[in-house]
Structure 1
Amino acid sequence: MTDGHASAASTRHIIQTPSAVETLAARPFLNEPDTGIDDALGQIPTHSLPNLTEIFGLPDFEWAARRHLDSASYAWYRNAAGGEWSYRNNLEVFGRINMKPRVLVDITNIKDSLPTTILGYNFSAPFFISPCAKASYANPNDAEDGLVKGAAAGDILYIIAAAKPKSSQVLFQQLYVTNNLTSTQAVMRRAEKAGYKALILTVEAPASGDRQRAHRFGWQLYKQLQNMTSIPIIPKGITSVEDARMALQAGAPAIFLSNHGGRQLDTSPSSLEAAIEIYQQAPEIFNQVEVYADGGVRYAVGMGRPFMYANMYGSRGVKQAIDIMKNEMALDAANLGVADLRKINASYMRWENNGWYS
Structure 2
Amino acid sequence: MGVGKGDRSITAAEISQHNSPTDLWLVVDNIVYDLTHFAPEHPGGTAVLLQHAGRDATPAYTEVHSPSLIKTSLPASSRIGTLDSTSVTENWTKLPAQAPTMSPQKPPAKPPLESLLNAHDFEVAAEASFTPKAWAFVSSAATDCLTKNRNGSVYNDIMLRPRVLRDVADIDLSTTMLGQRIRAPVFCAPTSMGRIFHAEGERELGRGCQRVGVPQCVSTSCSFPLAEVMDAVEEEAGEMVRNGEGGGEGVVPVFFQLYVDKDRRKSEALLKMVRERGVKAVFLTIDAPVIGKREADERVKSDENMKAPMSGAQAKNDKKGGALGRLMGNFIDASMTWDDIVWLRKHTPGLPIVLKGIQTSMDAVKAMEIGVDAIYLTNHGGRSLDTVPATILVLLELQKCCPQVFETMEVFIDGGITRGTDIFKALCLGARAVGIGRGFLFGLNYGKEGIEHFVNILTDELKTTMQMCGITSLDQVHPGLLHTGAVDHLVPGSEEPPYAKWRPRLRISKL
TM-score range normalised by the length of the shorter chain: 0.7 to 0.9
Match of 2:378 among 254, 258, 274: 258
Q: Answer yes or no: is 1:146 the counterpart of 2:204.
A: yes
- The change in CA–CA distance for 1:95 and 1:183 in structure 2 (over 3 A counts) is same
Write the mapping of 1:224-235 to structure 2, written as runs, cut at 5 A. Answer: 224-230=343-349, 231-235=351-355
1:18 alignment counterpart:
none
Question: How far apart in 1 are the matches of 2:386 and 2:277?
Answer: 36
Deviation string, structure 1 residues 241-287 (Cα, Å, up to 9, x no partner): 11111111111011111000000100111221111101101111112
Q: Could you tell me which amino acid in structure 2 is paired with residue 221 of structure 1?
A: D
2:3 alignment counterpart:
none
Write the mapping of 1:69-84 to structure 2, written as runs, cut at 5 A. Answer: 69-84=130-145
Q: Answer yes or no: is 1:324 the counterpart of 2:457.
A: yes
Q: Per-residue deviation at 1:51? A: 1.1
Q: Answer yes or no: is 1:206 the counterpart of 2:267.
A: no
Bigger Rg over Cα: 2
Question: How far apart in 2 are the matches of 1:267 and 1:354?
Answer: 16
User: Is the 2:147–2:387 Cα contact (8 Å) retained in structure 1?
Assistant: yes
Q: Could you tell me which amino acid in structure 2 is paired with residue 271 of structure 1?
A: T
1:17 alignment counterpart:
none
SS class of match (1:283): coil
- The change in CA–CA distance for 1:340 and 1:210 in structure 2 (over 3 A counts) is same
1:294 alignment counterpart:
414
1:222 alignment counterpart:
341
SS class of match (2:412): strand
Question: How far apart in 2 are the matches of 1:354 and 1:78?
Answer: 26
TM-score by length of 2: 0.58
Write the mapping of 1:58-69 to structure 2, written as runs, cut at 5 A. Answer: 58-69=119-130
Q: Could you tell me which amino acid in structure 2 is paired with residue 60 of structure 1?
A: D
2:192 alignment counterpart:
133
User: Is the 2:175–2:474 Cα contact (8 Å) retained in structure 1?
Assistant: no
2:479 alignment counterpart:
346
Q: Per-residue deviation at 1:122? A: 0.7
Match of 2:399 among 268, 279, 292: 279
Write the mapping of 1:77-92 to structure 2, written as runs, cut at 5 A. Answer: 77-92=138-153
- The change in CA–CA distance for 1:103 and 1:357 in structure 2 (over 3 A counts) is farther
1:19 alignment counterpart:
none
Question: How far apart in 2 are the matches of 1:248 and 1:227?
Answer: 18
Q: Per-residue deviation at 1:79? A: 0.2
Question: How far apart in 1 are the matches of 2:333 and 2:117?
Answer: 40
Deviation string, structure 1 residues 84-122 (Cα, Å, up to 9, x no partner): 010011110101111111111221112xx2001111111
Write the mapping of 1:192-203 to structure 2, written as runs, cut at 5 A. Answer: 192-203=275-286
User: Is the 2:158–2:486 Cα contact (8 Å) retained in structure 1?
Assistant: no
User: Is the 2:261–2:333 Cα contact (8 Å) retained in structure 1?
Assistant: no
User: Is the 2:107–2:131 Cα contact (8 Å) retained in structure 1?
Assistant: no
Query: Percent identity, aligned pairs only?
Result: 29
Q: Per-residue deviation at 1:354? A: 6.2
Write the mapping of 1:25-174 to structure 2, written as runs, cut at 5 A. Answer: 47-110=108-171, 113-139=172-198, 141-161=199-219, 162=222, 163-164=226-227, 165-166=230-231, 167=234, 168-174=251-257
Q: Per-residue deviation at 1:356? A: 4.5
Q: Could you tell me which amino acid in structure 2 is paired with residue 280 of structure 1?
A: K
Question: How far apart in 2 are the matches of 1:242 and 1:201?
Answer: 18
1:240 alignment counterpart:
360
Q: Which has the higher contact order (CA 8 A, sep 6+)?
A: 1
SS class of match (1:219): coil
Question: How far apart in 2 are the matches of 1:201 and 1:352?
Answer: 33
User: Is the 2:377–2:413 Cα contact (8 Å) retained in structure 1?
Assistant: yes
Question: How far apart in 2 are the matches of 1:305 and 1:247?
Answer: 27
SS class of match (1:152): helix
- The change in CA–CA distance for 1:174 and 1:336 in structure 2 (over 3 A counts) is same
Question: How far apart in 2 are the matches of 1:336 and 1:132?
Answer: 33
Q: Per-residue deviation at 1:212? A: 2.8
- Number of matched pairs: 308
Write the mapping of 1:297-316 to structure 2, written as runs, cut at 5 A. Answer: 297-299=417-419, 300=423, 301-316=434-449
User: Is the 2:440–2:451 Cα contact (8 Å) retained in structure 1?
Assistant: yes
Question: How far apart in 1 are the matches of 2:255 and 2:193?
Answer: 17
Deviation string, structure 1 residues 214-264 (Cα, Å, up to 9, x no partner): 2xxx31111221112212221100011111111111110111110000001
Question: How far apart in 1 are the matches of 2:164 and 2:371?
Answer: 41
Deviation string, structure 1 residues 125-159 (Cα, Å, up to 9, x no partner): 011110111211211x2211110000000010111
Question: How far apart in 2 are the matches of 1:115 and 1:263?
Answer: 31
- The change in CA–CA distance for 1:124 and 1:353 in structure 2 (over 3 A counts) is closer
SS class of match (1:255): strand
Question: How far apart in 1 are the matches of 2:154 and 2:166?
Answer: 28
Q: Per-residue deviation at 1:58? A: 1.1
User: Is the 1:47–1:68 Cα contact (8 Å) retained in structure 2?
Assistant: yes
Q: Per-residue deviation at 1:357? A: 4.8
Q: Could you tell me which amino acid in structure 2 is paired with residue 222 of structure 1?
A: I
1:37 alignment counterpart:
none
Q: Could you tell me which amino acid in structure 1 is paired with residue 398 of structure 2?
A: I
TM-score by length of 1: 0.82
SS class of match (1:213): coil
5+ residue gaps in structure 2? 1-105, 235-250, 291-329, 424-433, 492-511
RMSD: 1.8
1:39 alignment counterpart:
none
